[in-house]
Amino acid sequence: MRNRNGRWSAPFVLIATLCLWANFALRLHNIDTLPLFLDETIVVGESKAIASGTFLHHASFGKFALPYFLLPFQPTYQAAWIIRVSLLIWTCLGFSSGLAIARRYGGLRAALVAAALMAFSPMLFFFDRLALGDTMAHAAVTLWFWSLLQLFGRQSPRYSLACVSGILFVVCLLAKATSLLLLPLPLVMAVLMAPWAVSSRAKVIACVYLTGAILCLPFSIALSSRNLDYFWQYGNFGASAGTLLSLARLGRNLSFLLEALISYHGLAFLAVSAAACLLAGLLKPRIMLSIYAGAIGYCFAIIWFSDDLLFGRFFIPVLPLYFVGASIAISALARSIRIRVNLRTGPIIFACLALWVYTVSLPFLNALYVDPASADLFRVDKSEYIRNESSGYGVPELAQYLVDQTESGQSYVVGAFIGCETLRLYLPPPPAAILS
């Protein structure tokens, strides 16, 4: 993270470090209060399968990297804390990248606003405390976007950075298969950001895509040899060819996204941030259009290609980009107002931000710390992570009941229960019950 002169800025590094630790501490507190979600249990099982020699079986779910990321930890008992904290450490890369982008294109004020938005966003906070592929993907996407800005923001091409960007895109793709929707982004950013000749842009773009293709080729061959399809699971969510142009379906999916954002952040926040982003497009068109291409383009693709079965986590991979864009936009507008009417808007910005944090964010965070079931989650997420059997609610209590009922030896428990594997992870060693 460097200043505009290319030199390290010690005050900014200190501020960024403090923001990073604050973000980490906020999410770490009582991180295992919410029981293990079924998808988290599946990831733990996939990690164990990899340790046993089954390396590719889970690839059909389109979230290949996470089980490998958890492989060194091999969580069993207390798995919720282990896997969530492990992934939380990974998200620090995305948080740092977001700060770096905001600082470079909006100054220190933009970096502080971005830190506050990313740290206190109820939606991002909730999913950062779960070990999901979407959580891993948003950090990878933000890091990749930062690498593209480093690549195309230079005065001359640098092919080593192009290779790094290609590698990071593969990381995004392995974190979540839907990252493929961001494939055109390097091309768009080369047109918007790179101050080079057309031939130089073409060579760098080719280097980015060629690096990604070379890395993906052996992976694709390995999957094909086992008749595995990395994008198989998304066939369950994709719209049929006959409904791609259905305005009713597109309207429902768009209203789903807006309802989720408003439910977590409030209508006023969404309206102000969206208006700031649109107005700032006139002041900083290149960086804002690049962010629009990433964040809005990804969300539009999800809306366009998805059937009616949507979840809030589908949009998480680009949510930090939206907050970074909003912070740059707010800083640009504040600077423009200062020049035009000589009005200092900094205190107003941070006062409004503090009001939003106090009235919207902190009550949500406190509910997740104490009683997640009482948190004001988006209705679909409430069903998915609290009410449904796959949520894991009641499993820790059931595990404690089995431990209390077993005075010596082991008991045998037989039954049809979707959370059976989750229950195993809550039984202390040696297990108090044999489950079947």
CA distance 189 to 187: 6
The answer to whether residue 5 is domain-embedded is no
pLDDT band, residue 80 (cuts 50/70/90) = confident
Let me know whether 298 and 420 are in one domain.
no
Which residues lie below 8 Å from residue 176, measured CB to CB, with a gap of 6+? 62, 63, 133, 134, 136, 137, 317
pLDDT band at 62 (very low <50, low <70, confident <90, very high): confident
With 0.75 as the threshold, say if the pTM is over it. Answer: yes
Name the helix (H) or strand (E) containing 135. helix 133-152
Residue 286 and residue 180 share a domain: yes
Domain count, the chain: 2
**pLDDT-based confidence at residue 25 (cuts at 50, 70, 90):** very high
Categorize the per-residue pLDDT at 1 as very low, low, confident or very high, splitting at 50, 70 and 90: very low
* Residue 37 covered by a domain: yes
Lowest mean pLDDT among 100-114, 211-225, 264-278, 392-406: 392-406
Residues 201 and 278 both lie in one domain = yes
Q: Cβ distance 27 to 88 under 8 Å?
A: yes
The per-residue pLDDT for 239 is 63
Please tell me which residue, 331 or 344, carries the higher pLDDT value. 331
- d(CA 135, CA 66) in angstroms, rounded, equals 10
Average pLDDT, the chain: 87
In this prediction, residue 8 has a pLDDT band, given cuts at 50, 70 and 90, of low
Is 241 domain-assigned?
A: yes
Say whether both 249 and 316 belong to one domain: yes
Nearest to 317 by CA among 156, 187, 124: 124
State the pairing for strand pair 433-435/411-413: parallel
419 pLDDT higher than 80: no
349-388 burial, b for 16+ CB within 10 Å, e for fewer? beeebeebeeebbeebbebbeeebeebebbebbbebbbee
pLDDT of residue 98: 95
Residue at 191 is within a domain: yes
Lowest average pLDDT, out of 35-44, 83-92, 165-174, goes to: 35-44
In a domain, 249, yes or no: yes
Give percent of the chain with pLDDT exceeding 90: 56
Better pLDDT: 385 or 397: 385
Residue 1 lies in a domain: no
Q: What is the pLDDT of residue 342?
A: 77
Mark whether 344 and 216 lie in a shared domain. yes
Q: Between these two residues, 115 and 48, which has the higher pLDDT value?
A: 115
pLDDT bin (cut points 50, 70, 90) of residue 245 is confident
Only one residue has tokens 């969206």, namely 274
Q: What is the pLDDT of residue 266?
A: 93
Is 388 within a domain?
no
Q: Is the link from the previous residue into 430 a cis peptide, with omega within 30 of 0?
A: yes
Same domain as 271, residue 419: no
pLDDT (tens digit, 9 = 90+) per residue, 164-191? Answer: 999 999 999 999 999 999 999 999 999 9
Average pLDDT score over residue span 422-426: 80
Say how many C-beta atoms besides its own lie within 10 A of residue 168's C-beta: 21
Residues 44 and 149 reside in one and the same domain: yes
Per-residue pLDDT for 353 more than 90?
A: yes
Percentage of residues of the chain with pLDDT beyond 70 = 91
Same domain (yes/no): 407, 374: no
Residue 387 lies in a domain: no
The CA distance from 8 to 397, in Å, is 51
Do residues 320 and 120 touch, judged by C-beta distance below 8 A?
Answer: no
User: Are 216 and 156 found together in one domain?
Assistant: yes
pLDDT tens-digit series, residues 263-321:
999 999 999 999 999 988 888 999 999 999 999 999 998 888 887 778 889 999 999 99
Range from 55-64, 86-95, 274-283 carrying the lowest mean pLDDT: 55-64
Residue 235: what pLDDT? Answer: 64
Q: Which of 355, 379, 403 is the last residue of a domain?
A: 379
Measured distance CA(183)–CA(4) in Å, rounded: 29
Q: What per-residue string of b and e applies to 273-296 under the rule 16 or more CB within 10 Å gives b?
A: beebbeebbeebebbbbbbbbbbb
Model confidence band, residue 410 (pLDDT cutoffs 50, 70, 90):
low
Cα 299 to Cα 311: distance, rounded to the nearest angstrom = 12
Binned at pLDDT 50, 70 and 90, residue 325 comes out as very high
- Are 33 and 181 in a shared domain? yes
Domain of residue 427 covers 395-435
